Amino acid sequence: MGPTASGKSALALALAERFPVEIVSVDSAQVYRGLDIGTAKPPPALRARVPHHLIDVCDPAEAYSAARFREDALRLIGEIRARGRIPLLAGGTMLYFRALERGLSPLPAADPGVRAELEAEAARRGWPALHAELARVDPAAAARIHPNDPQ
């Protein structure tokens, strides 16, 4: 684990040349197809030499959460081990490492109806107005959340 373009992929390749590994990307940007610039994705030729997982798995318009990462990574780790190979985790998204190692607090599923209502209200009034309303009813939450954050 480490910052973008710090040599994690090169180290993973060196290990792959010596051991029977498959690389599981632990990077919140590399999961998205088409986001190749700025994510330091391993080039296709390298990915053809060593199996890589969790790269280019969804479209940028699709949400990919730490919870989904954890679910996908645990499944892949099991599959890789079942093949008699070693799962090698490589990436720099600490939240993903933490989710994999410690799990996540159980949260209720988001209600799509409530989400649609909030987005419609934000389209009408703007996110800053909704943030001001949040600050009125829950100042502590408002202090943690940027006024333009739609999440």
Say what the pLDDT of residue 23 is: 94
The answer to whether residue 11 scores a pLDDT higher than 70 is yes
- Closest C-alpha among 73, 74, 81, 35 to residue 54: 73
**Is it the case that residue 83 has pLDDT exceeding 80?**
yes
Indicate whether 151 belongs to any domain: no
77 and 118 together in one domain: no
Q: What is the DSSP letter of 93?
A: -
CB 92 within 8 A of CB 8: yes
**Proportion of the chain above pLDDT 90, given as a percent:** 48
Residue 3's pLDDT is 61
What distance in Å separates the CA atoms of residue 3 and residue 39, rounded to the nearest whole number? 10
Residue 42 counted as domain residue: yes
How many residues would you count in the chain?
A: 151
pLDDT tens readout for residues 54-78: 999 999 999 899 999 999 999 999 9
- Would residue 58 count as lying in a domain? yes
Query: Based on the domain organization, do 38 and 89 belong to the same domain?
Result: yes
User: Above 90 in pLDDT, residue 87?
Assistant: yes
Q: For residues 142 and 84, which has the higher predicted lDDT (pLDDT)? A: 84
What is the pLDDT, as a whole number, of residue 6? 65
Is a pLDDT exceeding 70 seen at residue 4? no
What does the DSSP 8-state code read for residue 136?
Answer: H
pTM for the whole structure: 0.70
54, 76 Cβ separation under 8 angstroms: yes
| Residues 83 and 116 occupy one common structural domain | no
Q: What percent of the chain stands above pLDDT 70?
A: 93
Q: What average pLDDT is seen over the chain?
A: 88
Helix axes 127-137, 112-125, angle to 10 degrees: 110
Are 87 and 39 contained in the same domain?
yes
Q: Is the residue at 1 inside a domain? A: no
pLDDT band per the 50, 70, 90 thresholds, residue 41: confident
Boundaries of domain holding 46: 8-102
